[in-house]
Structures are given as structure tokens and as C-alpha cells.
Amino acid sequence: MMALGVDLGGTKIEAQLFAEDWRLLDRSRVDTPATYPALLQTLLDLVAWADLRAGVPVAVGIGAAGAVNPRDECVLAANLAAHGQPLPTHLSNALARPVTYLNDSRALALSEAVFGAGRPFSSVFALVLGTGVGGGHVRDGHLQTGPSGTAGEVGHISAAAHLVQGLGLPIIDCPCGRRGCIETLISGAGLARLAKAMAGLDLTAPQIVAARASDPALQAVWHVWCALTADLIQTLTLTVDPDCIVLGGGMSDIPEVSMDLTVALARAQFAGFGSPVILRAEGGATSGARGAAHAAWRVAND
């Protein structure tokens, strides 16, 4: 069965149609509509495009920011017009077929575990470091999910107290409703916040990354970012002990990020014990579309 994967972002929608051997057959990219009826129609139009291109109804998978609450199927995603709407239900009713809807970090995790950097390993945790921080755990090709639908929302694990208190870092209100989530310190905005708190500097994340080698104050900021992020990876190691961590999102493009995190992670782990290998995602910015398609294909074939 052919599968359509849709990466539903706040500004763009990327749709990719895959053949049964996972060759990319075609793709379509459109702006994300600002109203819910227009968004629903655009997604239905993309499925109609894929059905026509395939000649048969395709399996439909959508990877999007935020989470879906299994209790009411409503989408929790502040930057999407679908926020508070049961989008997966509306789509599957309109299409008269199952629609697989999953968080975009989980879609990237599946894509990287099955097709990308995590291929050689059985237990793969993808950690997406960008505007937000999220992830997903794939074991033997299966995304690990649970009844709450929140597994993988690792950006909302609390930041390590010994680092926050030891360095006098701020405890920030997180948009999720909790306080002191690690995302508020290690996302792109989080890195900027660290520079402000530690050195009084008003710089963006790309400015900090570009200048860190030649500025001792920014070097210190970078090391704290690495220590905080490594502590999160250590939490993942203590819970699911993955073979590898695949880094995605904009901050995974920072030169030497894998190496610097590997050094920081060795310091966070018990002395003498091993840690997961840290790799960068291979699938690029639209890796999530392939993961969403694969999740849908699996539902159709299981």
C-alpha cells in the first residue's frame, strides 16, 4: 500500500507520497492555512492529490507539532488552527479511512529509527532540539506510546536542580503550564536565556553559537547548555537506556554538538558506565513526513 506522509508545521505543510518500497514518488508543499475549516480542506485536498497520483486510496499519516489527547482526540498545539479541535477524527470521518496523527518529534524518531541514523540499532531515542524540545523512543521499529499520549514530551522534564541552583539560573514559566521545564533553557530561546542570565548578553542562539569559540563568556554559556542537555539525555538513559540518541531540530546542525554532548554525557553518567551513542538525524528537515507515512502504513498493514 502506498502511503502519504504530511509534515504539518505552523507555516508550511509538506506532503510526501511513498511507493511500497519507500521510494519518494512525489511531494507537495503549501502554506498552512490560518483558519480551521481551511486547514481541514487543505489536508483533504492533499489526500485527494495523493489518491489521484497513486491511482488507489493511500494510507494517511500526519506529523504535527503538539500532542493529541487520547481522551477526546483534541489537538493541543498553540501554533496551529487545529488547536482544541478533534482534527484526526474530522479527517478520518471525511476520508472514510483511518488517519494516523502523531507528534512531529515522534514522526522524526520513527523515520530516523527505520530509515535514518538509528537504522543499525534496536533502541533509538530521537531528541529534537529546536524552537521546542521533544522526542520519541522507537524499539525494534515500533514507536513506544502509552495511554496518556505524552511519552516523548521530554522538553517538559524539569531542568536539573543542581545546575539550575548552582548557577543561579532562572526558573521559567513554561507554555505547557508547568514551571522550570528543561525546554525553557535548552531550546533556541533557552540558549539565549542562558547567555542573558549568565553573562548579561542579549544575543540570539545563532550569534552565541557563531561567537562561542572566541569568547570565554559564551564558551561558558555553551558548556552549561551542553551540561543541561546531557543531563536530560542521562534521564533518558536511566529510564529506557537507548542504544543511540538521534539529534534533530535546528540545534542539531550546530558544529561539534554531538561531540560536545558526548563529553558532557560521560560526566553525567555513573563513573565507568557506558552511555548511548549520539548521532545527528540523516533525513533532513522533512524526515517527519516519511515517519508519519510509515506510522500510517504500519496501521494499515498490522
Pick from 67, 82, 181, 289: which binds Zn ion (CB under 5 A)? 181
CB of 104 closer than 8 Å to CB of 7? yes
> Edge-to-edge, what's the strand order for the sheet holding 99-103?
24-31, 12-18, 3-8, 59-64, 99-103
Quick one: which segment of 7-15, 57-65, 165-173, 178-186 binds Zn ion (CB under 5 A)? 178-186
Q: How far is the CB of 155 from Zn ion (least distance, A)?
A: 6
Q: How far is the CB of 60 from Zn ion (least distance, A)?
A: 30
CB of 207 closer than 8 Å to CB of 217? no
Pick from 12, 119, 142, 178: which binds Zn ion (CB under 5 A)? 178
Task: Say how far apart CA 230 and CA 264 lie, in whole Å.
Answer: 6
Q: How far is the CB of 287 from Zn ion (least distance, A)?
A: 24
Task: Say how far apart CA 238 and CA 244 lie, in whole Å.
Answer: 13
- Going by the DSSP 8-state scheme, the letter that residue 11 receives in this structure is S
- Interface with Zn ion includes 174 (CB under 5 A)? yes
Site size for Zn ion (CB under 5 A): 5
> 176 or 217, CB closer to Zn ion?
176
List, as one string, the DSSP characters of 228-248: HHHHHHHHHHHHH--SEEEEE
> 62 or 68, CB closer to Zn ion?
68
Residue listed under C-alpha cell 511507493: 19
Rounded (5°) CA angle 67-129-284: 95
Quick one: which segment of 13-21, 107-115, 129-137, 156-164 binds Zn ion (CB under 5 A)? 156-164
Pick from 44, 171, 176, 277: which binds Zn ion (CB under 5 A)? 176
Q: How far is the CB of 149 from Zn ion (least distance, A)?
A: 15
Quick one: which segment of 2-10, 173-181, 199-207, 248-256 binds Zn ion (CB under 5 A)? 173-181
Task: Say how far apart CA 123 and CA 290 lie, in whole Å.
Answer: 19
- Interface with Zn ion includes 156 (CB under 5 A)? yes
Q: For the chain, where are the alpha helices, taking DSSP H only?
A: 36-54, 87-95, 104-114, 161-167, 183-186, 188-199, 205-211, 216-240, 257-268, 287-301
Q: How far is the CB of 173 from Zn ion (least distance, A)?
A: 9
Task: Say how far apart CA 96 and CA 25 lie, in whole Å.
Answer: 24
Q: How far is the CB of 64 from Zn ion (least distance, A)?
A: 18
Question: SS3 for 9?
Answer: coil
> 167 or 172, CB closer to Zn ion?
172
Q: How far is the CB of 169 from Zn ion (least distance, A)?
A: 15
Q: How far is the CB of 124 from Zn ion (least distance, A)?
A: 24
Quick one: which segment of 5-13, 151-159, 267-275, 289-297 binds Zn ion (CB under 5 A)? 151-159
Quick one: which segment of 53-61, 172-180, 237-245, 261-269 binds Zn ion (CB under 5 A)? 172-180
- For Zn ion, the binding residues (CB under 5 A) are 156, 174, 176, 178, 181
